[in-house]
């Protein structure tokens, strides 16, 4: 067995240890492994080109991060917070429950990657959630702010995970169908997706209650802190 193609692993380890550009490190590792395996330059370039074409959908994610970063640099988060702050009656629970419902419905329709942590949670939903919490009169310290951000991220996770299973063309649904087919049980993908609907509804209700409970706990913590401050300030 020829172990020389494994030199790419050493290139990756060395590149990351030296804190080099990850893209260049991965490309260098691929080239090193290809040459060590006896591939010609032409074959290696053809392989890289085929891999690029077959995975061109990943470019959407590659372009998302710099686009979001540029928007954040020019005040996207601050604009989102100011916009939500203008809705005085919009609470944290109402905002996140509405986002949870929208995320689940979009995932049920197959629009899974329309939202996500990089696209919506960090630049929009998290700062909007902070502003909505402040609409309730809650003063967010560092711990409470991190808790609100984590809740926003969890809301996106729950909405996607339990909504995508209802989409009949989702990979997990087809995987379930294939597993049962190999064991002699024929199931329609539509039936599998419909049986996921009660779970999605239960997940929505449970997480909505959790959002409401977190809001109430933040309010209680704020009232307790305010009361202690008033007591400390009293003569």
Asked if pLDDT for residue 230 goes beyond 50, the answer is no
> Is the distance from CB of 64 to CB of 73 less than 8 angstroms?
no
Asked if pLDDT for residue 229 goes beyond 50, the answer is no
133 and 205 fall within a common domain: yes
21 and 122 fall within a common domain: no
132 and 43 fall within a common domain: no
For the chain, how are helix, strand and coil distributed in percent, rounded to 5?
80, 0, 20
> Is the distance from CB of 166 to CB of 109 less than 8 angstroms?
no
Asked if pLDDT for residue 75 goes beyond 90, the answer is no
Rounded CA separation 202/205 (Å): 5
Determine which helix (DSSP H) or strand (DSSP E) holds 2, and give its type and residue range.
none
Question: And the tokens for 226?
Answer: 């305010």
Rounded CA separation 33/4 (Å): 7
Q: What is the pLDDT averaged over residues 226-233?
A: 50
Q: Which residue has the higher pLDDT, 66 or 203?
A: 203
Q: What is the pLDDT averaged over residues 184-201?
A: 86
30 and 89 fall within a common domain: no
Least confident of 9-18, 93-102, 186-195: 186-195
Rounded CA separation 38/35 (Å): 5
| Predicted local distance difference test score (pLDDT) of residue 62 | 64
Q: Considering its fold, how many domains does the chain have in total? A: 2
Least confident of 8-12, 58-62, 86-90, 135-139: 58-62
37 and 137 fall within a common domain: no
Rounded CA separation 129/100 (Å): 13
* pTM recorded for the entire structure: 0.69
3-state secondary structure of 104: helix
- Tokens 């960090």: give the residue: 122
* Residue 193 belongs to some domain of the structure: yes
> Which phi and psi angles does 89 have, rounded to 5°?
-90, 5
130 and 182 fall within a common domain: yes
> Is the distance from CB of 162 to CB of 172 less than 8 angstroms?
no
* Residue 70 belongs to some domain of the structure: no
Determine which helix (DSSP H) or strand (DSSP E) holds 11, and give its type and residue range.
helix 7-17
* Residue 219 belongs to some domain of the structure: yes
116 and 222 fall within a common domain: yes
- Tokens 């540029």: give the residue: 70
Note down the domain range covering 26.
4-54
> Is the distance from CB of 121 to CB of 152 less than 8 angstroms?
yes
- Average pLDDT of the chain? 83
DSSP-derived secondary structure for 21-56: -HHHHHHHHHHHHHHHTT--HHHHHHHHHHHHHHTT
228 and 116 fall within a common domain: yes
Distance (Å) of CA 18 to CA 9, 13, 14, 24, 176? 14, 9, 6, 12, 44
Rounded CA separation 147/171 (Å): 32
């Amino acid at each position: 067995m020829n172990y020389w193609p494994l030199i790419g692993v050493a290139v990756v380890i060395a590149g990351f240890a030296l804190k080099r550009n990850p893209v260049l490190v991965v490309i260098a590792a691929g080239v090193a492994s290809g040459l060590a395996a006896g591939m010609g330059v032409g074959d290696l370039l053809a392989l890289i080109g085929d891999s690029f074409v077959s995975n061109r959908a990943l470019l959407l994610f590659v372009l998302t991060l710099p686009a979001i970063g540029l928007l954040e640099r020019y005040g996207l988060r601050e604009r989102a917070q100011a916009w939500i702050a203008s809705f005085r009656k919009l609470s944290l629970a109402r905002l996140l429950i509405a986002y949870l419902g929208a995320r689940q419905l979009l995932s049920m329709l197959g629009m899974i990657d329309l939202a996500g942590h990089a696209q919506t949670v960090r630049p929009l939903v998290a700062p909007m959630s902070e502003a909505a919490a402040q609409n309730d009169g809650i003063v967010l310290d560092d711990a409470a702010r991190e808790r609100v951000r984590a809740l926003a991220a969890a809301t996106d996770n729950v909405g996607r995970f339990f909504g995508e299973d209802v989409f009949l063309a989702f990979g997990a649904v087809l995987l379930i169908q294939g597993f049962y087919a190999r064991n002699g049980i024929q199931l329609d993908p539509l039936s599998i997706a419909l049986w996921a609907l009660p779970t999605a509804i239960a997940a929505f209700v449970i997480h909505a209650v959790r959002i409401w409970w977190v809001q109430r706990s933040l309010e209680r913590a704020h009232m307790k802190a305010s009361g202690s401050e008033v007591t400390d300030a009293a003569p």
